[in-house]
Amino acid sequence: MLKFYYNPISVNARRVWVALLEKQIPFEPILVRLDGDQFHDDFTTINPLQRIPAIVDNGFRLVESLAILDYLEAKYPNPPLMPSGPEAIAVVRMIEAITVVELQPATIPLTRPLVGLEVDPQKFEAAQQRVTSILHFFEELLNQQMYFAGDEFTLAEVVAGTLLPSLSLEDYPRLKAWSERLTHRESWQQTIASPEVIEVALPNIRKILERRS
Ligand SMILES: N[C@@H](CCC(=O)N[C@@H](CS)C(=O)NCC(=O)O)C(=O)O
């Protein structure tokens, strides 16, 4: 059975978790506690970069959440999470890339004060502006559609939809409605980190953020 290395507080792992559930792929969850066990030899053998998520499927080891999503889509194509038209494919890829390369790093300075870490006010302000321009862009892209690529739920939702609901979407009515639709899905409900889990993980989150400053 496919082994899934994860932690419930990890956004990067959650997108893989959601895809596994949406596709109803049987898997064995393996908790990586992120209290230092990501640096142990056992896990470093699985991922030399010492990060989650990782999977091992029939002996095939894979790391990096977006690569894992592509693998799951190719190996377990039903239900499909990638559209077929060229424009829709490009939109999904664009949303994935903006979320992971632009939005996610911009949320780091905004998260620091929430876990009791200092943040350079200029970095905080720049991050806020970056997040605002991305959310405006996403709001515009969504237009009157149900989902980013049209009527179909795709990997754009899996990737952006596991990060955006944690941000304030009050000024973005379409994104807010989209986010609420997603959070009602079984796969979102099953993978949401409870306040208790987040509370217990705070020291680990703090250490991870300290290492990234
Ligand atoms: N680009 C990677 C990022 C993975 C990543 O940063 N994972 C975090 C958890 S969200 C982690 O394992 N951090 C451990 C650490 O920094 O020590 C992906 O998309 O899979």
pLDDT at 212 over 90: no
Residues 126 and 142 in one domain: yes
Q: Is residue 204 part of a domain?
A: no
Which pLDDT band holds residue 116 (cuts at 50, 70, 90)? confident
What end-to-end distance do the CA atoms of the chain give, in Å? 37
CA 16 – ligand 1 centroid, Å: 12
CB hemisphere CA count around 99 (13 angstroms): 26
Nearest to 159 by CA among 79, 86, 80, 104: 104
Nearest CA to ligand 1 atom 2: 64
Pocket test of ligand 1: the residue of 10, 51, 111 to mutate, having most ligand atoms within 8 Å of its CB, is 51
* Alpha carbon nearest to ligand 1 atom 6, residue: 51
Residue 211 lies in a domain: no
Q: Verify that 99 and 156 share a domain, yes or no.
A: yes
pLDDT in tens, 63-95: 999 999 999 999 999 999 999 999 999 999 999
Atom of ligand 1 nearest to the CA of 13: 10
91 and 186 belong to one structural domain: yes
| The predicted structure's pLDDT at residue 210 | 87
Q: Which of 52, 55, 108, 210 gets mutated to test ligand 1 (max ligand atoms within 8 A of its CB)? A: 52
Task: Give the closest residue (by CA) to ligand 1 atom 5.
Answer: 51
100 and 171 part of one domain: yes
> What is the spatial distance between Cα 195 and Cα 156, in angstroms, rounded to a whole number?
26
Q: Identify whether residues 9 and 66 lie together within a single domain.
A: yes
- Whether residue 9 has pLDDT greater than 90: yes
Residue 47 lies in a domain: yes
Q: Is the pLDDT score of 213 beyond 80?
A: no
Helix (H, G, I), strand (E, B) or coil at 111: helix
49 and 109 within one domain: no
Q: Pocket residues for ligand 1 (CB within 6 Å)?
A: 10-12, 34, 38, 50-53, 64-65, 208, 211
Specify whether the CB–CB gap between 31 and 80 falls below 8 A: no
Q: Is residue 169 part of a domain?
A: yes
